[in-house]
Structure 1
Amino acid sequence: MNLVNDTLELQEHVNVSHNFDFDLVKPFIKRAERKYIIPNISQKEYDRLLSDAITDADILKIKTLLTEASSNLAFHLGFTQLVVHVTNYGTVQTDLENTNAVDWATRRDLQRTYVQAGFEALDDALKAMELYLDKFPDWRDSEAFTIFDENFNKRTDEFQRHFNISNSRKTFIALKPIIREVEEQYFLPMLGKETMDLIKRRSVIPVLMRALELAQKAEVALTIAKSVDSGAFIMTGSSAIYRWEQLPWEKSSEYSDERLEKLREAKQNAGEEYLKKLKTLLQENPEIFPNYISNVSNTSGNILKLKSGLAL
């Protein structure tokens, strides 16, 4: 059993004829849910959503969004194969006498539509799940969600506040390895683990709130600076969008190499400036950050710009 199980359910989200053979797309539905849905919501939460016993309106709405995502992403994955049939006599392609195959431009736009519609629905579902977090305990306690608890920016909206990623949780997830690298390279040597943990607790003390804000801004800026060279993101204006799937007609970036370098340099400089402000704040409040003061007493106390990053 999957989120989409027959032609009627499929027709709610994808334009197919009433006599469409559901068995043609079924393998791609399984693959789409295995590849995109389950890793993002956890296997336990996926199994729960398949139950017919769900009556909660909010959960049913999210299930509908995930079903929409599954339907569109299945057609994206199977786009080139749905008209191909493997028989005992070889591989053939459907070609009806009174119909014309769509041209390449239409195929391009159609496949892009499947990709965009599928991931927009997935993002909307994940955003709603964050809003109703208590209704999804299996997801909340799974690796699909808890891997973000270790960072200064724990949620999509927190990262979005400082740089436009189109409110995409999938983009946020894709940035996760870079965020982890940034904390290891810049924050851990500068702050020490104890001070990092203190700031991440999200205290209502004004000084700690300001420290978290500066840490979040620095983390976002330095993450974007590192992501520029990864090739995994499309840079448009002031936004970064994760490349869901490599499509032949799309480029890795809409920025020229020169503009990408300017973006990288600007974000690197911005991140370093936020780190300096954070350092000053910590030094001015030794009673709140005793572990930081103890840590810098054994060093020069200055931020040094090194090729590998910043250090005390």
Structure 2
Amino acid sequence: MITKNLEDFKKFIPVEPSFREDGFEKLTSFLENVYKNTLCKYIGKEQAQIFNQYSGNSEIIKEAILYAKQTETNLAIYEYLPLGAIQITSGGINIVAPKDQKSAASSDIRDVQRYYKRTGLKALDNLLQVLEENETEFTAWKSSKQYTKFKKLLVNSTQDFQEHYNIFDSRQTFLSLTNELETVEYQYLIPVLGKPVLQTLKTSEIQNDIVKEVKDYVSKANVFYVVSKTLGSGLYFQESTGFQLRFDLLDYERNFGSKERLNSFIEDQRKDKRDEAYNFLKMAKKLIQENPDVFKSYTPNTQKISSPFINGKGIVAI
């Protein structure tokens, strides 16, 4: 873990003067858990180990380590809170409260959990932003599977996604959508454009206005198809201007959105985004067909672009 001692811990978590080393020792397993299952997951094991052992003077790396510690401590407390008042002994499990005090109610614990989870995940988002904006300082992260996984996509950064749809510059929101971005490539983009053209758009460094325009259209289609799949899922805090991952959602609440009927507003938004994606993909295909000298790897496909909607008698059917 990156948080080494009680002094480190107190910089991020306000505790009573009576909280001493023995209290910190109870939290070390939770700190280790966050280190292994959250930090290593998002930034890679090698980069996390560098933070753990770092003794240099780079201010950028020190800033990243500060966010890593804030992530570690806040999420550790989030995990610890439901168990903090429980004492496990050979005689059984007891709830312990000091004299003249009473144990916090479950609702109070949940509210505090939300605070620490939100704070910890915001710190993780800040950490990812520092890494993303200073790639040359974090070579271990740049060579990690976590980094290369999303860099192989057409829309491969928070900034790329943000250009087409507002996710409030949230790195974790972008990372949570990478699987859907890849799925959309296979589901919609490749059947229309073909793998060679998509690969050209991903890797081409040609400063050609036509290529740029096609890439912009295809990127918009990619993002809007993902947005149409994501809206109403319950995992994201949605505003009229965009959405972002819900940092205050407790684990057992994670699937609540799927149990509710989507309201007509969300359904309309989903349809609008699918229609926009479909139209942008059509525009990209038209440009490609009109410029065979630019897109020499394109093979005409007689199959029409499949729209996700079929017009029925007075209704719209999926």
**TM-score of the two chains, using structure 1 as the length reference:** 0.89
Superposed CA RMSD in Å reads 2.3
Decide whether the 8 Å contact of 1:25 with 1:82 is kept in 2. Answer: no
Match of 1:269 in 2: 275
Match of 1:246 in 2: 250
For residues 218 and 177 of structure 1, the distance between their equivalents in structure 2, rounded to whole angstroms, comes to 16
1:94 Cα shift?
2.3
3-state DSSP class of the match of 2:84?
coil
3-state DSSP class of the match of 1:167?
coil
**5 Å matches for 1:148-227?**
148-201=150-203, 203=205, 204-227=207-230
Evaluate the alpha carbon distance shift between residue 14 and residue 260 of structure 1 in structure 2; reply closer, same or farther with a 3 A threshold: same
For residues 148 and 155 of structure 2, the distance between their equivalents in structure 1, rounded to whole angstroms, comes to 12
CA deviation vs aligned residue, 1:259-294 (integer Å, no higher than 9, x gap): 2211211111111111111112212222111121xx
Evaluate the alpha carbon distance shift between residue 235 and residue 202 of structure 1 in structure 2; reply closer, same or farther with a 3 A threshold: farther
Decide whether the 8 Å contact of 2:158 with 2:174 is kept in 1. Answer: yes
**TM-score of the two chains, using structure 2 as the length reference:** 0.87
1:243 Cα shift?
4.5
3-state DSSP class of the match of 2:187?
helix
1:302 Cα shift?
4.0
1:81 Cα shift?
0.6
Question: What letter is aligned with 1:273?
Answer: N
Decide whether the 8 Å contact of 2:232 with 2:257 is kept in 1. Answer: no
3-state DSSP class of the match of 1:161?
helix
Evaluate the alpha carbon distance shift between residue 202 and residue 84 of structure 1 in structure 2; reply closer, same or farther with a 3 A threshold: farther
3-state DSSP class of the match of 2:264?
helix
CA deviation vs aligned residue, 1:81-138 (integer Å, no higher than 9, x gap): 1221111222122212222444444333311111111011001111110111011111
For residues 174 and 306 of structure 1, the distance between their equivalents in structure 2, rounded to whole angstroms, comes to 23
1:219 Cα shift?
0.6
3-state DSSP class of the match of 2:94?
strand
**5 Å matches for 1:56-71?**
56-71=58-73
Higher mean Cα deviation, 230-239 or 30-39? Answer: 230-239
1:232 Cα shift?
4.0
**5 Å matches for 1:126-165?**
126-165=128-167
